[in-house]
């Protein structure tokens, strides 16, 4: 005697058959992951305009309406786009036409995922990857304002930050204006200074600083003055010792003339360390040369003659 199929299995099979039939007849109600974006909302009940049964969306179906050569330039009806947007006109430069690699026209559950997939610059042809400004607007902050190079010099194509900036990309005139991008340090030393960062710091790293004041002049307890006292107008390439009551020009002149020293303007030539007495015989003779024949720049007679000959040529 044959066993009849269980009623339960018959009911399950019938339900599955009904579900499959409904999925084909009303796919937008049965299997849709969410409403379509505004541009495709007219296709809400025509899933097979983009999807193939059992295979999903295909780029070939996208390009039946969206001609690749016209994307960003013309509408799907062939009407030129008056206000062309740079963000969509790069589709002609893709290495392959895989629309679903970036686009998902179903908005999906709003609280669980985004409707737009992240764009990969690897989809662009190699020469186009370097032309960032063809798609992206340049930042208008103080750092980017003076740059005339492509973004790829500092930024990667996967993320805007972190970036690797090289000051050599800046024009020479801009390199002199550190404060146009950087805030000045607010410590006791730097509060006295105005610009001239490169006198102590390098562009590849702020620390360590290269400046050592003792190599030029030792600041002992009697010389703990503000920088402006010796370096007028924040010009740290020049100095004067006539900024305090002790070193008046008349006093210094009288003392040095008495010692037979005619050229005494470059004080640190002899007085590099105020705690020590200057060595005898280090004064300068008239004409700006010391008694060893060297001038203020440390050049001997032969070096001065070669420089004169070079200027004549």
Contact 107, 117 (CB under 8 A): no
| Token duo for residue 305 | 């003659």
**Phi, psi (deg, nearest 5) at residue 253:** -65, -45
3-state helix, strand, coil in the chain (%, to 5): 35, 5, 60
**Phi, psi (deg, nearest 5) at residue 60:** -60, -35
Residue 25, pLDDT score:
67
Q: In the predicted model, what is the mean pLDDT of the chain? A: 75
Residue 27, pLDDT score:
65
Q: Which of 163-167, 221-225, 246-250, 280-284 has the lowest mean pLDDT?
A: 280-284
Residue 19, pLDDT score:
76
Using CA atoms, how far apart are residues 311 and 313, in angstroms rounded to an integer? 5
Closest CA to 39 of 6, 71, 4: 71
Per-residue pLDDT averaged across 45-62, rounded? 82
Per-residue pLDDT averaged across 234-249, rounded? 79
pTM above 0.85, yes or no: no
Closest CA to 151 of 129, 170, 168: 129
Per-residue pLDDT averaged across 7-23, rounded? 75
Q: Which of 20-24, 145-149, 215-219 has the lowest mean pLDDT?
A: 20-24
């Amino acid at each position: 005697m044959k066993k009849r199929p269980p009623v339960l299995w018959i009911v399950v099979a019938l339900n599955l058959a009904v579900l499959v039939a409904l999925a084909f007849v009303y796919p937008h109600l049965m299997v849709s992951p969410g409403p379509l974006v505004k541009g495709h909302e007219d296709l809400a009940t025509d899933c097979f305009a983009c999807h193939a049964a059992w295979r999903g969306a295909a780029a070939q179906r996208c390009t039946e309406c969206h001609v690749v050569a016209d994307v960003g330039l013309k509408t799907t009806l062939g009407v030129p786009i008056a206000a062309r947007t740079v963000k969509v006109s790069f589709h002609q430069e893709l290495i392959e036409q895989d629309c679903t690699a970036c686009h998902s026209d179903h908005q999906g559950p709003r609280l669980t995922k985004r409707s737009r997939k992240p764009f990969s610059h690897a989809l662009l042809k190699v020469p186009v990857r370097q032309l960032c400004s063809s798609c992206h607007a340049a930042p208008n902050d103080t750092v980017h304002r003076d740059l005339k190079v492509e973004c790829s010099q500092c930024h990667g194509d996967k993320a805007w930050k972190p970036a690797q900036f090289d000051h050599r990309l800046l024009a020479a005139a801009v390199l002199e204006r550190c404060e146009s991008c950087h805030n000045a340090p607010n410590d006791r030393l730097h509060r006295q200074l105005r610009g001239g960062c490169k006198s102590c710091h390098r562009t590849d790293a702020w620390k360590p600083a290269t400046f050592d004041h003792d190599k030029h002049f030792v600041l002992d307890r009697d010389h703990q003055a503000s920088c402006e006292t010796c370096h007028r107008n924040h010009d740290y390439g020049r100095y004067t010792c006539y900024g305090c009551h002790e070193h008046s020009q008349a006093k210094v002149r009288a003392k040095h003339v008495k010692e037979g020293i005619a050229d005494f303007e470059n004080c640190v030539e002899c007085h590099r360390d105020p705690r020590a007495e200057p060595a005898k015989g280090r004064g300068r003779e008239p004409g700006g040369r010391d008694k060893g024949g060297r001038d203020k720049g440390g050049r001997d007679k032969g070096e001065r003659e070669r420089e004169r000959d070079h200027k004549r040529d």
